[in-house]
Structure 1
Amino acid sequence: MEKSIEDIWKEGFLKTDALIAPKINKLYSQKSIHVIDKFKRMFKINLIAIVAFSFIFLIVSFFIGIPITGVIFFVTLSVLVFINKKLLNDLEKIDLGVSSYQYLKAFNQWKNKQIAINKRMSKFLYPIIFISMILGFWFKDAEGIPLGERLVNEIRIGFPDVYLVYGIPLIGIISVILILVLLAFFGGQIYKWDLNIVYGRVFKKLEELMTDIESLRS
């Protein structure tokens, strides 16, 4: 029985050594490499931007009197960049010589791993950033005394019956803990929102490529 045009198309596309439709193989390979290369460039730029921001903020934090925030920011973001740089190195190891379908599958596996790791880290990242800001402004010098202590004194004047725990209003402690819990709980989702804003269009193109290829394989 003679092969249909669709069967010939699939055979030419799926077999890397086929001579029937080499242009199809080449086209999808070029598209796959192009889109993933674009992601790599964006990923590298993003890491560089994080490093630059953390370093600049570290310097600025000393000038505006919140060095604790700057140091915690710098250390936390440095760890984030270090881990993602290692992940990027793993991405660079994906073999370009395989078929476009296998290349996209390998990238998709890497992407899922990268997202899973960063989602877990985000449960700690956002709470750490928040608490670093609280600590930074709490110990910021305000006319000779820490800003936090000055704020507590103002609260005690306005609300003399406020309940204190180690010199800190209980309502303030509860509020901070509640925000930390919420940030930890929703940290993964916040990361997914950030991810979609930065890489959403690239991921959509990759999904479309995978859909096209899988439709040919079916």
Structure 2
Amino acid sequence: MEKSIENIWKKGFTNRDLLSIPIIENIKSLKSIYTIDKFKKMYKLNIIGLTLTAVIILLAFILGGIPFIGMYMFTLFISMAIVGLKSLNNLNQINIGESNYEFLKAFDNWLNNSNSKILLVYKIWIPLFFIGFAFALLYTNIFIPFIGETLIDKILNNENMFIVNKIPVFWFLGIIIIAIVLSYFSSSFYKIEMKDVYGNILGEIKQLLAEVEELRS
């Protein structure tokens, strides 16, 4: 179906005489619906992936002897999945309506609003994820089993380490500083992720909107 739609779509724009035929307008609408539905499926798979990752991390950290950090990380991933699910529900409220142009513009507005909200979440989520991962490295050897004891035990047993109330001060300060830096660059991380995961299909939708706008002008 996709190839047949694209063939007619391309022919429609290379042959101006065909643009007056009503079926071409229907093909344009079908192309928009098909492409955005494809995006929805990809978005849904991403949400499912976040949920599965949350469960896997929880089980792994429980087995690694750090259930509280596991619950912390589980909550982070589930929270992001919930944000994504709410965003997807908003997207599902958009329908073709009377105009294909309005349909594509509604999607574009949804995308901009969704990106703005998720960027704000990322500024908090990315550093919190790093802190959780850093603590997991410190308090379990599940990631580095070859060292024997946990990293925090090695640090606390090091006489040259500055420690206050069993807290390795410089290590914790380093974690906080890195978390702040990650928060600062969180928007870049999000843009890279969006480009890698959805770049091609969003490019198709952008092209569809540009072509429809060209016809309206």
TM-score past 0.5 threshold: yes
Matches within 5 A, 1:84-123: 84-123=84-123
Matches within 5 A, 1:173-192: 173-192=172-191
TM normalised by structure 2 equals 0.82
Amino acid at match of 1:169: P
- Alpha-carbon separation, structure 1, partners of 2:24 and 2:87: 31
Aligned residues: 197
Residue 168 in 1 paired to residue 142 in 2? Answer: no
How far apart are the structure 2 equivalents of 1:163 and 1:205?
55
AA matched with 1:73:
M
- Partner in structure 1 of residue 55 of structure 2: 55
**Which residues of structure 2 form unaligned runs of 5+?**
1-15, 143-148
Q: Distance in 2 between matches of 1:169 and 1:94?
A: 52
Residues 95/153 of structure 1: CA separation in 2 closer, same or farther (3 Å cut) = closer
Q: Which residue of 2 aligns with 1:30?
A: 30
Whole-angstrom CA distance in 1 between matches of 2:214 and 2:93? 27
1:23 Cα deviation from its structure 2 partner: 1.7
Letter matched to residue 110 of structure 1 = W
Which residue of structure 1 lines up, in the alignment, with residue 78 of structure 2?
78
Q: Secondary structure at the match of 1:94?
A: coil
Tell me if structure 2 keeps the 8 A contact 1:65–1:141.
no
**Paired position in structure 2 for 1:5:** none
Amino acid at match of 1:213: V
Q: Which structure 1 segments of 5+ residues have no match?
A: 1-8, 14-19
**Larger deviation, residues 169-178 vs 191-200:** 169-178
| 1:129 alignment counterpart | 129
Task: Identify the structure with bigger relative contact order (alpha carbons < 8 Å, sequence gap 6+).
Answer: 1
Amino acid at match of 1:204: G
RMSD of aligned residue pairs (Cα, Å): 2.4
How do 1:35-46 and structure 2 match up within 5 A? 35-46=35-46
Deviation at 1:22, TM superposition (A): 1.0
Judged with a 3 Å threshold, the aligned counterparts in structure 2 of structure 1 residues 126 and 91 are, in CA distance, closer, same or farther, namely same
Deviation at 1:151, TM superposition (A): 2.3
Instruction: Look up the match of 1:69.
Output: 69
Cα distance in 1 for partners of 2:177, 2:134 equals 14
Q: Is the 8 A contact 1:66 1:136 kept in 2?
A: yes
| In structure 2, distance between residues paired with 1:151 and 1:116 | 43
Mapped partners of 1:212, 1:74: distance in 2: 43
State the identity as a percent: 29
Q: Distance in 2 between matches of 1:153 and 1:57?
A: 26
TM-score (norm 1): 0.81
Task: Say whether residues 1:151 and 2:154 are aligned partners.
Answer: yes
